[in-house]
């Protein structure tokens, strides 16, 4: 899912997203409720109509952003009080309010409100947040705002195998439409992420519901996760790195701000069918980035989103035709075995 934090996947139109092959996008409860507010989006006909995207939308619950606020929030068992990063005003999120907001936004999939913690905290703190996440999960389900809206629960528990098993069992025991894995890609090592996904693959082995790994990933991360049963991802990386001049290609990551690209009269990736690769050269993009032209951010974003969704299409076919390992080796050769850390939409 490309991430449309503020009701737009940055620099891209809905038409660009369709052309890139996007089937579903993500919207952020925290940002949209602060501006333009969930009530306003509801009055304007819901998030689909507001942003003119007629495909499915998943909304997060706001939990991730609120817990990123660090000193600007206070947690109690009922919910979280926090300070807006826009104007310093005070706000409150509870499981009930998070579900109400997502009902007003009218997303197709709503996420339960969860408590994320740094996995390197002491075990009892990670366990306490996990237990609270389970109580909030039940309250979120009970507060489902629209019968037609799917609701996904979120497994927490840091990188502790025992906590993860307990959390998977608690969340899978509820009547959710899908199971999300939260609390990863937040600073743990790649090995810890893979080990945690192994634990969850075992714990959920008989569960038929879709599994969503939140905030992942980079090209290499997709293989680690799909191999362990993950079906769905969201990540701001493709658009965020694009705006800094980094583009993803069959040959790995290129930084278009590098002087050598100023004279390369070839597409970013000759195998890519995006608007940037069909019409423009690396030399032109390199010029646009140096001149700080808006078109640079747009074309690089269109490329990275198209390229990423194409990689995932290839990954899906590779599962069917048995070429997963070959494809993975190719991507690991290009991007390296220790990729950049996946990021989730920050505040």
Catalytic residue among 16, 60, 221, 269: 60
Cα-Cα-Cα-Cα dihedral sign, residues 213, 214, 219, 221: negative
* Contacts to a copy of itself from residues 49-108, by CB under 8 A: 50-52
Stretch that binds a copy of itself, among 44-52, 164-172, 193-201, 250-258 (CB under 8 A): 44-52
Q: Alpha-carbon distance 281 to 263, whole Å? A: 9
The angle formed by the CA atoms of residues 223, 229 and 233, to the nearest 5 degrees, is 65
| Placement of tokens 């069959």 in the chain | 250
Nearer to a copy of itself, 265 or 320 (CB): 265
Tell me the CA distances in angstroms from 282 to 186, 241, 249, 256, 264, one per residue in order: 33, 16, 12, 7, 6
Binding segment toward a copy of itself, per CB under 8 A, in 38-46, 57-65, 87-95, 134-142: 38-46
Rounded to whole angstroms, the Cα distance separating 93 from 181 reads 21
Residue 283 Cβ vs a copy of itself, minimum distance, rounded to whole Å? 5
Q: Cα(133)–Cα(114) distance, rounded to whole angstroms?
A: 5
Least distance (Å) from a copy of itself to the CB of residue 213? 27
CB of 48 to a copy of itself, least distance (A): 12
Give the phi and the psi of residue 140 in degrees, each rounded to 5: -60, -45
Smallest distance, a copy of itself to C-beta of residue 345, A? 13
Exactly one of 1, 2, 3, 7 binds a copy of itself (CB under 8 A); which one? 7
8 Å CB contact between 60 and 28: yes
Residue from 6, 83, 314, 323 in contact with a copy of itself (CB under 8 A)? 6
Catalytic residue flag (residue 198): no
Peptide bond into 36 cis (omega under 30): yes
> Which of 16, 114, 234, 269 is flagged as catalytic?
234
Between the two ends of the chain, the Cα-to-Cα distance in Å is 18
Long-range contacts of residues 87-92, Cβ cutoff 8 Å, at least 24 apart:
91/33, 91/34
- The answer to the question of residue 19 lying near a copy of itself (CB under 8 A) is no
* CA 26 – CA 181 distance, rounded (Å): 16
Nearest distance in Å: CB 235, a copy of itself: 18
Which 257-316 positions form the footprint of a copy of itself (CB under 8 A)? 262-263, 265, 275, 279-281, 283-284, 287-288, 290-291, 293-295, 297-299
Q: Among residues 50 and 136, whose Cβ is nearest to a copy of itself?
A: 50
Among 18, 23, 44, 125, binds a copy of itself (CB under 8 A): 44
Locate all alpha helices (DSSP H) within 10-94, ordered by sequence: 14-19, 29-34, 38-43, 47-51, 63-68
**In the complex, minimum distance from the CB of residue 287 to a copy of itself, in angstroms, rounded to a whole number:** 5
User: Is 60 labeled as catalytic in the residue annotation?
Assistant: yes
Size of the site for a copy of itself (CB under 8 A): 37
**CA nearest neighbour of 155 among 179, 124, 123, 187:** 179
Catalytic residue set = 60, 234
List of residues contacting a copy of itself (CB under 8 A): 6-8, 10-15, 35-36, 40, 43-45, 50-52, 262-263, 265, 275, 279-281, 283-284, 287-288, 290-291, 293-295, 297-299
């Amino acid at each position: 899912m490309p991430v449309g934090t503020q009701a737009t996947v940055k620099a891209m139109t809905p038409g660009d997203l369709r052309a890139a092959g996007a089937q579903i996008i993500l919207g952020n409860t925290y940002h949209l409720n602060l501006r333009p507010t969930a009530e306003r989006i509801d009055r304007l006909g819901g998030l689909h109509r507001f942003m003119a995207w007629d495909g499915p939308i998943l909304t997060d619950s706001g939990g991730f952003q609120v817990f990123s606020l660090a000193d600007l929030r206070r947690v109690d068992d009922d919910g979280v009080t926090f300070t807006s990063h826009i104007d310093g005003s005070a706000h409150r999120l509870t499981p009930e309010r998070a579900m109400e907001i997502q009902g007003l936004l009218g997303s197709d999939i709503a996420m339960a409100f969860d408590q994320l913690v740094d996995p390197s905290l002491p075990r009892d703190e990670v366990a306490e947040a996990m237990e609270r996440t389970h109580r909030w999960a039940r309250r979120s389900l009970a507060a489902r705002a629209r019968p037609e809206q799917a609701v996904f629960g979120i497994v927490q528990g840091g990188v502790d195998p025992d906590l993860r098993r307990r959390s998977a069992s608690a969340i899978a025991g509820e009547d959710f439409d899908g199971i999300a894995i939260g609390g990863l890609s937040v600073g743990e090592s790649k090995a810890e992420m893979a080990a945690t996904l192994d634990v969850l693959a075992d714990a959920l082995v008989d569960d038929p519901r879709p599994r969503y790994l939140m905030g992942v990933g980079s090209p290499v991360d997709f293989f680690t996760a799909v191999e362990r049963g993950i079906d769905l991802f969201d990540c701001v990386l493709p658009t965020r790195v694009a705006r800094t001049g980094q583009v993803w290609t069959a040959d790995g990551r290129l930084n278009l701000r590098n002087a050598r690209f100023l004279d390369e009269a070839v597409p970013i990736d000759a195998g890519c069918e995006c608007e940037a690769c069909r019409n423009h050269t690396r030399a032109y993009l390199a010029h646009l980035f140096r001149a700080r032209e808006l078109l640079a951010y747009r074309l690089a974003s269109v490329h990275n989103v198209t390229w990423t969704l194409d990689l995932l299409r290839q990954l899906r076919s590779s599962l069917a035709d048995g070429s997963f390992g070959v494809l993975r080796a190719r991507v690991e050769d290009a991007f390296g075995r220790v990729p950049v850390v996946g990021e989730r939409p920050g505040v």
